[in-house]
Amino acid sequence: MLVSLKEMLQEAEKNNFAIASINTPNQISLRAVIQAAEDTGMPVTINHAQTEQSVVPIDIAVPLMLDYAKKSTAAISVHVDHGYDFEHCMKAVRLGCTSIMYDCSRFPLEKNIEEVKRFVEIVKPLGIGVEAELGAMPNNMPSDVHGQETSDLSDLSVYYTDPDEAALFCERTGVDVLTTSFGTVHGMYAGEPNLDIERIRKIKSQAGQVHLGMHGGSGTPFDQIQQAIDAGIKKINYFTAIDTAPAPYLLKTIQESKNPVNFCNLANQAMEIIYQKTVEILTVFKNAGR
C-alpha cells in the first residue's frame, strides 16, 4: 500500500526503528526491495534520485514505483532522492511522489533556507513531505554511473552539520526530514567508519519536531547504525551495498558457464541477492531484540 513517509516516520519515532530509504532504479531492485519489505513487515521508502535520470527518467520510473507500491501488502512510500533542481522536484509533485528531497545543501546556509522554505510552502498543502540536507554528504561512489565527483575524505568533520544551524534551518523552513552529516559517506568509506553519535543527539535536542535522516548507510557497522537510530536517526538511505552485491555472484555464474549466459537468469539471480541484502538491512533497521 502507498503510505506517506511522514506516517511511517511517526511510527518509527514511536517504536525506535528506522525507515530504509532505498533507490530502485530498475525493476529487479524494485521487485526485490518490495518483496523484502513484505517478508520482514518493515515499511520502506523507494527512491528515484535525480542522478539516476540517465538510468531511468523519473517520468518512467515513478509511475511504475507507484503501481508496485499500491499493489504491495507492505507500507511503501515513493520518494525523490537528492532532487537538485526546483523544476525536477515539481515534476515529481505532478507524478505523485509522496515525499521529495529538495537538496540545496551545495548553497550557503541562507540560500539553502530560502529555497527549501519556498518549496515547503508550495508542496506542504498538497500533503507531500519534504526532506532537506544541511551540512554536506561526501561522495565516494564505486563508479561514475551517478556522475558524482569523489570528495576529499581525509577529514570528514569538515562536512558535519552544526546543531545550532540545524535548529535555525528547521524553524525557518518547516521541513519534515532533515538529513545531517556526522561521519557517513555516500558510497564507500575510505577508512574506519566512526560516526559522531553525540552530534546526532545534540541536533535532535535542538532541532525540534523534525525527523532526522542519515545518508550513506552502506558500509556503516551495524552497531553504529543502531546507535544512530537510538540517538534520533529515523530514516536511513542505503544503496551502494545493495546495488553492488550481485556483481561478484553474476561474474562467477558467467565465468563458470559453459554455454552462452541467459540475461533473464542473471536478472533472477541478481534479484535474489538484492532481496537477501535488503532483508538483512531491514532487520538491522528494525533495531529490536538487543
Q: Binding segment for ligand 13P among 24-32, 37-45, 91-99, 236-244 (CB under 6 A)?
A: 236-244
Residue selected from 135, 216, 232, 246 as contacting ligand 13P according to rule CB under 6 A: 216
Strands 129-134 and 177-180, bridge-based pairing: parallel
Return the number of the residue (211 or 215) whose C-beta is nearest ligand 13P.
215
Does position 237 bind ligand 13P by CB under 6 A? yes
User: DSSP for 27-75?
Assistant: HHHHHHHHHHHHHHT--EEEEEEGGGTTTS-HHHHHHHHHHHHHH-SS-
C-alpha cell at 137: 554528504
Does position 186 bind ligand 13P by CB under 6 A? yes
Residue selected from 68, 159, 238, 285 as contacting ligand 13P according to rule CB under 6 A: 238
Return the number of the residue (80 or 170) whose C-beta is nearest ligand 13P.
80
CB of 37 to ligand 13P, least distance (A): 17
CB of 186 to ligand 13P, least distance (A): 5
CB of 195 to ligand 13P, least distance (A): 13
Which residues, listed in sequence order, are joined to residue 100 by a DSSP beta bridge?
A: 80, 130
Q: What is the dihedral sign for C-alpha 109, 114, 119, 121?
A: positive
User: DSSP for 225-270?
Assistant: HHHHHHHTEEEEE--HHHHSSHHHHHHHHHHH-SSPPPHHHHHHHH
Return the number of the residue (239 or 275) whose C-beta is nearest ligand 13P.
239
81 labelled catalytic: yes
User: Measuring CA to CA, how many Å separate 94 from each of 22, 103, 114?
Assistant: 21, 18, 22
**Looking at residue 135, what DSSP letter applies?**
S
CB of 47 to ligand 13P, least distance (A): 7
Q: What is d(CA 282, CA 12) in angstroms, rounded to the nearest whole number?
A: 13
Binding pattern for the stretch 52-91 against ligand 13P, x by CB under 6 A and - elsewhere: -----------------------------xx---------
Residue selected from 181, 218, 278, 287 as contacting ligand 13P according to rule CB under 6 A: 218
Helix extents (H) in 124-220: 163-173, 197-206
CB of 42 to ligand 13P, least distance (A): 17
C-alpha cell at 101: 528531497
User: Measuring CA to CA, how many Å separate 15 from each of 65, 185, 192, 286?
Assistant: 27, 27, 30, 9
Give the count of residues interacting with ligand 13P (CB under 6 A): 12
Among the options 81, 162, 176, 243, which is catalytic? 81
Q: What is d(CA 290, CA 179) in angstroms, rounded to the nearest whole number?
A: 26
Q: Binding segment for ligand 13P among 55-63, 151-159, 199-207, 237-245 (CB under 6 A)?
A: 237-245
CB of 240 to ligand 13P, least distance (A): 3
What residues between 111 and 170 interact with ligand 13P by CB under 6 A?
Answer: none
The residues assigned a catalytic role are 81
Residues that bind ligand 13P (CB under 6 A): 81-82, 186-187, 215-218, 237-240
